[in-house]
Amino acid sequence: MNRKITKKGLSVRDLATIGIFTAVMFALTIITGILTGTIPVLYLFAPALFGILAGPMFMLIATKVHKTGAIIIPALLIGILWTLMGGISVLGFMGLLGLAGELIAAKTHYNSFRALVIAYILFVAGYYLGAIGPIYFFTDWYLSLSESKIGYDPAYVESVVAAALGWVSAVAIPVTLIASAGGALFGRKLMRRHFEKAGIV
Amino acid sequence: MEENLCAVTSKRRALYNTGGKAKHMAAERKDTGIDPRVKLLQILLFGMMLFFLHTNIGNSLQIAVLIGFLIFLRLPVCGLRLALYYGGLSLLDQLLSGAAQYKIVAAITLIIFLLRKFSSIMGIYYLFIRAMTVGELLSALGALRVPQKIIIPLAVTLRFFPTILQEVSIIRDVLRLRGRPLTFLSFCHRPMEMLEYVFVPFMMRCVRIADELSAAAVARGIENPAKHTAMFPLKFRWQDGVYFTVLIGSSAALIAYEALL
């Protein structure tokens, strides 16, 4: 993992590596979304599941490409693919937090594992804010709408929604952070055990 | 460069989408041939409209407009599917709203509300996946001056999706041969171990594919700094102008309708 950063920009090989592992990460966002999406409350834990599973991909990109762009480009690509499917907020949050992660990792020349873990947590947090954020937004709106509907007691509906989302997100946010740190550790374990020996990273 | 790659991709994609009816798809595509840049704008516009439409009627109107566009783009089946999905959810909502005093029913109506709210995403997905080839998307992005550092990985990403499933099924076969079948039970029994068994060979293969793909792309001149040509050059025709006007007009009408209410 302790290589000197090369001055040259991203090669086609780096871009292909980023592209392929981003495809896997994007597929993971969809798979975790479908797995948890059947129950809306569980859906808040989709980013946590994504955080565990995508750790190895993220670590492989960061250690194999090992240059500026290794974190922000996957973040932007996932954002663009989500935007094309109607989720523009993912692009905004992942772009912003991906950039922050990139700056932190670049400061240590992509050599410090701790910096990469922070970058990865920011990456997953960006996905959480982008993918889950709109739910809060639309729930407020649902509440405002339910007042005008006949047969709904607004205070009552509010209590149900608050219990469902308020309490669950209080659990989901720390779980997501811990899961993404765990995913990063899982990624490093795989890197050390398999990919470094095989001479890939 | 990638336009060249993409011509192949779009053909292959057509094969994937229709199960061998590539010729039919190509013929289908020729009669509309709307500029992909306009479609890209449409996707962005309809995605953002989710945040502007606040009423049930506005939401339904947006779905109706989307279905109209899907039918115009020769995707009537997709339009029908969207109509059935949205209609079914609306019906369910109507049926359940009578019994909203029960806790469980209120929770279910919230789920239905959210699903219905986001159902235009289904239409947007069809616009993106079925109404546009990868080649069209990339040449549109290129024309919009998106940097190559984004376009090349995006091309790779979009091409790679079908491969992911193939690779995973190969790895499942190998695991079964080695006496460690990947099933729900075995996964629950030792989750981290099974993840490792799947991830390590999968990622090894991905790394190799990345190397081969980049070698192939370099051989085709992807690093050539000169301007790349496209097999189907983008042209903004009068049909695109009409489509664009209808798109902007209908979106403006929807938002105006919401604002006036």
Query: Which B-chain residues 172-191 have CB contacts (< 8 A) with chain A?
Result: none
B45 touches chain A (CB under 8 A): no
Query: In this predicted complex, what is the ipTM?
Result: 0.83
> How far, CA to CA in Å, does B212 sit from each of A139, B205, B217, B242?
47, 11, 9, 44
B-chain residues near A161 (CB < 8 A): 110
d(CA B240, CA B34): 6
pLDDT surpassing 80 at residue A39: no
- Asked if residue A23 lies in contact with residue B160, where contact means CB atoms within 8 angstroms, the answer is yes
A185 touches chain B (CB under 8 A): no
Closest listed residue to residue A140, CA positions, set A119, A116, A166:
A166
Q: Quick: pLDDT tens for A132-181.
A: 877 777 776 666 655 555 445 566 666 666 666 777 888 889 999 999 99
Q: Quick: pLDDT tens for A2-23.
A: 555 444 688 889 999 999 999 9
- Average pLDDT of the residues in B33-38: 86
Contact state of B110 with A156 under an 8 Å Cβ cutoff: no
Alpha helices, DSSP H only, in A38-107?
A: 40-43, 46-65, 72-84, 88-107
For chains A and B, CB pairs below 8 A equal 162
SS3 state at B187: helix
B198 touches chain A (CB under 8 A): no
- By CA distance, what is A191's nearest residue in B? B200
The proportion of chain B whose per-residue pLDDT surpasses 70, expressed as a percent, equals 86
d(CA A172, CA B129): 32
SS3 state at B190: coil
Q: Quick: pLDDT tens for A56-113.
A: 999 999 999 988 999 999 999 999 888 877 677 899 999 999 999 999 999 998 889 9
- Mutate which of A11, A18, A20, A35 to test chain B, going by most B C-beta atoms within 10 A? A20
Question: Which has more pLDDT, A199 or B20?
Answer: A199
Contact state of B200 with A194 under an 8 Å Cβ cutoff: yes
In single-letter form, the type of residue at position A84 comes to L
Contact state of A16 with B214 under an 8 Å Cβ cutoff: yes
d(CA B63, CA A8): 49
Q: Cα A95–A101–A107 angle (5° rounding)?
A: 135
d(CA A70, CA A51): 17
Å between B8 CA and nearest CA of chain A: 18
Start-to-end CA distance of chain A, whole Å, equals 7
Q: What is the pLDDT of residue A125?
A: 95
Rounded to the nearest 10 degrees, the angle between the axes of helix B2-18 and helix B22-32 is 110
Residue owning tokens 């091409």: B159
Å between A118 CA and nearest CA of chain B: 22
Q: Count of residues for chain B?
A: 261
B71 touches chain A (CB under 8 A): no
For chain B, how big is the Rg over CA atoms in Å? 23
A141 touches chain B (CB under 8 A): yes
